[in-house]
């Protein structure tokens, strides 16, 4: 039995993950569509490789034969996750990915019964999307077991920006608005429909609501029925976000998205090693019960891409060692609120009750 595949290994995050796997002494098979990109990476790291697309189900099935786990790193997952999940069900291969897209988490839940029958686990979101926030959500739930409201947010600290893959996913979904969970149901709402200021060290940071994956996953991890997710941004940027609804009709046009995607491809693949090294991410969460009692906690983590490479491989190793639960699952739901603490450089601040 071969161990695992990293699919999309030539992308920015896939490459970081493959390089970290080499440092850990793991032996994944690197895979993707492009021989010219996959082969040199595999040869440099000393890994076997496979070339296949996600357009032909028979080709995917043949490629997955004999592997225990797929770590899927090829986005936008809106287009790539479903064929890979379906193939994992057919080939009885455990599925992990690094998505943050609500649609993909919900699709995994839709397939949960089929996954149980196949004896496999479907666990999207084993990177920065959504391990830190998912673990923080469960941690907070345990501090306030009767919590009915959950708010989560994150903000990058330092020079590291987005990768082409992350930005491409944002472009693909830019006209879709936002989402939150209310009374157990996911609702579509305008992007930035809520804002708040969050204390950070000796200042306050401005946060704006966004459609983060925890709108889906935190519900399954905590059973909290009301969930809003945020990211930090400058107030001036929020002025653009507020007005976006007036020109979503333009942003939804395929030719506009093509122009944006082509521009992204001409830029750097993602932040440099140096930028990631001096960057971090601030994550916060708050729960509240019906009586108004609240509880807060925060995390400081490495840069999101660094955390994704490390956290995803921690999860892969758990599955390979037989620690998994069949069906659609969340990281904290299976591995607990301290999973994120296994990543070097993560700290959790003392909770605050008020």
Give the global pTM. Answer: 0.90
N-terminal to C-terminal alpha carbon distance within the chain = 53
Task: Give the tens place of pLDDT for each residue, 276-331.
Answer: 899 999 999 999 999 999 999 999 999 999 999 999 999 999 999 999 999 999 99
Residue 164, pLDDT score: 44
CATH number of 2-127+306-336: 3.40.50.720
Domain spans, the chain: 2-127+306-336, 131-303+341-353
Question: Among 3.30.2350.10, 3.40.190.10, 3.30.360.10, 2.40.30.170, what is the CATH number of 131-303+341-353?
Answer: 3.30.360.10
d(CA 354, CA 350): 13
- 209-241: string of b/e by CB count within 10 Å (b at 16+)? bbbbbbbbbbbbbbebebbbbbebbeeeebeeb
Residue 192, pLDDT score: 79
Token readout for 120 is 């496999």
Residue 304, pLDDT score: 93
In terms of Cβ atoms closer than 10 Å to its own Cβ (0-12, 13-18, 19+), residue 195 is middle
Mark the ranges of the chain whose per-residue pLDDT is less than 50. Answer: 1, 163-165, 167-173, 249-250, 255-257, 259-261, 264, 354
Residue 241, pLDDT score: 65
Residue 258, pLDDT score: 59
Task: Give the tens place of pLDDT for each residue, 307-321.
Answer: 999 999 999 999 999
Common-topology check for domains 2-127+306-336 and 131-303+341-353 = no
Residue 175: Cβ within 10 Å count: 18
Identify the residue whose tokens are 């971090």. Answer: 280
Helices (H), ranges, 119-187: 131-143, 164-172
Residue 253, pLDDT score: 56
Token readout for 30 is 């690197």
In terms of Cβ atoms closer than 10 Å to its own Cβ (0-12, 13-18, 19+), residue 1 is exposed
What are residue 327's DSSP bridge partners? 121
Residue 161, pLDDT score: 56
Q: Which residues contact 259 (CB under 8 A, 6 or more apart)?
A: none
């Amino acid at each position: 039995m071969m161990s695992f595949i990293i699919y999309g290994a030539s992308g920015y995050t896939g490459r970081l993950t493959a390089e970290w796997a080499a440092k850990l002494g793991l032996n994944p098979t690197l895979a993707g569509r492009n021989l010219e990109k996959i082969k040199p990476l595999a040869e440099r790291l000393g890994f076997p490789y496979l070339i296949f697309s996600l357009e032909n189900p028979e080709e995917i099935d043949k490629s997955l034969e004999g592997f225990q786990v797929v770590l899927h790193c090829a986005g936008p997952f809106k287009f790539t996750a479903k064929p890979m999940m379906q193939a994992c069900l057919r080939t009885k291969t455990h599925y992990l990915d690094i998505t943050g897209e609500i649609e993909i988490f919900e699709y995994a839940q839709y397939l949960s019964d089929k996954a149980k029958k196949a004896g496999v686990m479907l666990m999207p979101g084993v990177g920065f999307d959504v391990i830190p926030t998912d673990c923080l959500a469960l941690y907070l739930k345990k501090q306030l077991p009767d919590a009915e409201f959950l708010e989560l947010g994150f903000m990058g600290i330092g020079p590291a920006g987005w990768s082409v893959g992350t930005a491409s996913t944002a472009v693909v979904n830019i006209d879709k608005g936002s989402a939150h969970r209310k009374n157990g149901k996911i609702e579509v709402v305008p992007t930035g429909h809520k804002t708040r200021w969050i204390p950070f060290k000796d200042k306050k940071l401005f946060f704006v609501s966004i459609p983060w994956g925890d709108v889906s996953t935190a519900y399954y991890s905590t059973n909290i029925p009301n969930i809003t997710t945020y990211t930090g941004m400058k107030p001036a940027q929020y002025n653009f976000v507020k007005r976006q609804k007036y020109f979503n009709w333009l942003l939804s046009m395929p030719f506009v998205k093509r122009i944006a995607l082509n521009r992204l491809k001409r830029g750097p693949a993602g932040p440099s090693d140096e930028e990631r090294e001096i960057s971090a991410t601030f994550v916060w969460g708050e729960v509240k019960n019906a009586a108004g009692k609240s509880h807060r906690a925060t995390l400081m983590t490495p840069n999101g891409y660094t955390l994704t490479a490390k956290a995803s491989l921690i999860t892969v190793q758990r599955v390979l060692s037989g620690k998994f639960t069949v069906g659609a699952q969340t990281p904290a739901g299976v591995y607990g609120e301290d999973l994120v603490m296994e990543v070097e450089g993560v700290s959790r601040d003392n909770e605050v009750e008020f």
